[in-house]
Structure 1
Amino acid sequence: TPLNYILLNLAVADLFMVFGGFTTTMYTSMHGYFVLGRLGCNLEGFFATLGGEIGLWSLVVLAVERWLVVCKPISNFRFGENHAIMGLVFTWIMACSCAVPPLVGWSRYIPEGMQCSCGVDYYTRAEGFNNESFVIYMFICHFIIPMSVVFFCYGRLLCAVKEAAAAQQES
């Protein structure tokens, strides 16, 4: 079914997180610091961010799909294979729009926390890294917008379920 495309995408996101992020973090933790250098930090940060973002946007696509199917804002809409493929493409575009910029100079990946894993540089305020604009972009486009869409879709679903339960109780 088309829904399985999105679920498979979530599994792929988890694989990116496990093999690109967690495995590297375990290895560097055994050494006590990030031993893989700048390239390793960029790769680990990229794959961990990419996996997290694919997962995030897959959940957004699932929420929209459920809203379209259950609430029927577009009458006679049927979620098909083409819609699922468009959803997959959308998740990957959005994930790449978050994970790629630090590789090309809009912010950067640096060791964080216990210095055993790498992530986006939220800390440096020096000119030339453009971290502040990237953090604002991340906050709006990769937190506020997806959270708002998910809240809207599941809020409408909750209202539809309550209306259906009330209608069934009256009959």
Structure 2
Amino acid sequence: MLISNLARCPDSAIDNQRNAGIEPALKHQANIPKLMAQRTNEAMKPIRSETIHSFHRQNGSRSSRPSMGIRIVMTDSEPVEAALRRLKKQLDREGVLWELRRRSFFVNGTERRRAKAFRKRFKTRMAALIAQRNAGMSQSAIAQANAAFWQRTGKP
């Protein structure tokens, strides 16, 4: 009864009860209904752990776990092959190999844009070369244009 009354009463009522010799429950218990009402009014915004995006969407995914490193403890009687198998499984579970592959294939934005611009220029030059071939030029002129086309590096 005392706790339920404390949960509904403001801090001044808690101070009045303390002065009267009644020891109230922990102060944060008085704020629980206020916090619950505030939480429901905020349309249940996700808390930090819910906002972490991960490759594997499961509890305890590698993005929410702290990085502890990988440790393999071998006993004297354990064969090395078994320890290596355990190491490989642990590397796979921790996502180390996945992360290495992801980082090795990463191309930053500048390189991506430059490659796109190069492909565009190359396509235009190739169309011009094909147009020259179809224009009825002599074989030597076509060979010269073809050699000039493939000697270019693509830099403007």
Q: Could you say which structure has the larger radius of gyration?
A: 2
Q: TM-score, normalised to structure 1's length? A: 0.20
Higher strand share: 1
Higher helix share: 1
